Amino acid sequence: MARAPARPWRNDGDTARLRTMTPFGHIKEIWRYPVSSMGGERLDGTELAEGGIPGDRIWGIVDRRDGIVAAPEKRKHWRPLPNLLARLKGDRPEIGLDDGSWIDAGSSRAGELVSAFLDFPAALLPHVPFGSEAQDHIAPRYQRADIHIVTSASMNRLAGLLADPSQVDSRRFRPNIVIETDASRDGFVEQQIIGKVLSIGEARIMISESCARCTFTALAQGDLAFEPAVLQTIARHGEGGFGALCQVMQPGKVRLGDRVTLNEA
């Protein structure tokens, strides 16, 4: 399938310049993860602000026995966490229950629920900026990028390399945005556009680097089985990376179905 003709695009600033923009795809999924390491929520639309999607990964979980922050990719006792769901209500996360109801993440009941689910004492706490400390708050385990994207082209390529292609699902990779790429693009396309800019809805993002992967991609969640072959195949064929980390260059609103274009200049 041939690509549509490239169109000119005027850059912001005093000196307008023409740049070549080509179709790249459209937004297929939007995700937010209010509590780090827990299951997230799918959105119909959101604002891409400086720093990313508002409310994304604003709380975390610690083991009350030693104060260590949850790391499902490193320690087996944290592995069930992706099966607990969180959503944002106002400016605070809520934790989903089996009966379909939700409770405030800061309530004592939420702590009891997570502790019972994990079978050891755990606590949910708000995040503070990476590298800082505050009472009754925790710092994230790492400095995260504004936005994490994954494309359908990359997922299709990975599925074609696995014995069980059904195990390739966006939930394994915890992206903020899944882009359904145009049919003319295939392979691990994110690695082909490092350093370039995507116009995505009303926003613009720069593709900063390939997203290094860990054991989290293999974890069981929902109807997905524990599948080490996912990570092994990424390491073998993707040079350890899958998807891309991005910086928000121009904030703006994005919605499902919004077109995505690539700045080829």
pLDDT in tens, 157-207: 999 999 999 999 999 999 999 999 998 899 999 999 999 999 999 999 999
d(CA 249, CA 234): 28
Strands (E), the chain: 7-10, 18-32, 41-42, 45-48, 59-63, 86-89, 92-96, 102-104, 122-126, 147-151, 177-181, 197-200, 203-212, 241-250, 252-255, 259-263
Q: What CA–CA distance (Å, rounded) separates 260 from 237?
A: 26
Predicted local confidence at residue 131, as pLDDT: 64
Runs of H (alpha helix) within the chain: 108-118, 152-161, 228-237
pLDDT at 4: 34
pLDDT score, position 139: 73
The residues, any chain, with a CB within 8 Å of residue 84's CB and separated by 6 or more, are 38, 39, 95, 96, 114, 117
Q: What was the pLDDT predicted at 17? A: 41
pLDDT of res. 110: 95
Q: Report helix angle 228-237 to 152-161, nearest 10.
A: 100
pLDDT at 9: 40
Spans in the chain with pLDDT lower than 70: 1-19, 129-135, 142, 265
Kind of pairing between the strands at 122-126 and 102-104 = unpaired
Cα-based angle 224, 170, 129 (whole degrees, multiple of 5): 110
> What is the model's pLDDT at position 135?
65
Q: What pLDDT score does 133 carry?
A: 65
pTM, two decimals, is 0.89
Handedness of CA 254, 55, 77, 210 (dihedral sign): positive
